[in-house]
Amino acid sequence: MNLLSKLFNFVLITSKKYNIDESHGLSHSMNVFHYANKIYEDEVIKYPILKNHENIIYVSAILHDMCDKKYMDEAHGLIEIDNFLQNENIMNPNDIAVCKLIMSTMSYSKVKKSGFPNIGGYQKAYHIVRESDLLTAYDFDRCMIYKMNQNDGNIEDAFQNANNLFNIRVLKHNEDKLFTLDYSKRESIILHNLATQRIQAWKNIFKI
């Protein structure tokens, strides 16, 4: 089994184990991975040293929600990730430690509370993973899916909750200077516009 198969299979198994819904499960991991790949390809031209961090970026991007406190105890999730990476001989202990640091400090709430961590030479790898996850946050339907899983499937309530979240958080990502990388800055503008169109489409359906 190749590296990507091992990583995505772990996401699939862990999602089933902890009832992680599709908003943070396999499809989300794939979407974050694709953004991480695009940003990495854009940045590695300017910073060739990133070639040494490619696996760290992809592992962190794919596994980042497999320790999400919304679904499990974060510390326990990180232990399970550590055990998996060691048992499968995916990377050395130092790289595993970096991945765990990235995954445990990249969330929106932690960045808003404590700012960006200083992880030295791995800083750009950290931002690639963090910003890949932020870009997926512009998917309005994904936000509704998460809310529907929290409120017994009420789509109208899910829309209102998601709309409020976008107004106070997602649509302010650029205003809050959460993007540091060129690709993310460009792509976020496109995604911002698509999100506002999607919100309006739902409003038209609900006749709001």
Q: What is the reported pTM?
A: 0.96
* Residue at which a domain ends, from 71, 106, 131: 131
- The model's pLDDT over 140-175, given as tens digits with 9 standing for 90+, comes to 999 999 999 988 889 999 999 999 999 999 999 999
In the prediction, which pLDDT does 26 show?
A: 97
In the prediction, which pLDDT does 153 show?
A: 80
Angular region, 19: left φ>0, alpha ψ -120 to 50, beta rest: left
What's the pLDDT band for 182 if we cut at 50, 70, 90? Answer: very high
* Residue at which a domain ends, from 102, 131, 160: 131
- The model's pLDDT over 112-122, given as tens digits with 9 standing for 90+, comes to 999 999 999 99
Tell me the percentage of the chain whose pLDDT exceeds 70.
100
* CA separation for the pair 96, 78 (Å, rounded): 10
Domain that holds residue 16: 1-131
* Residue at which a domain ends, from 131, 162, 194: 131
Whose tokens are 């961090």? That residue is 53
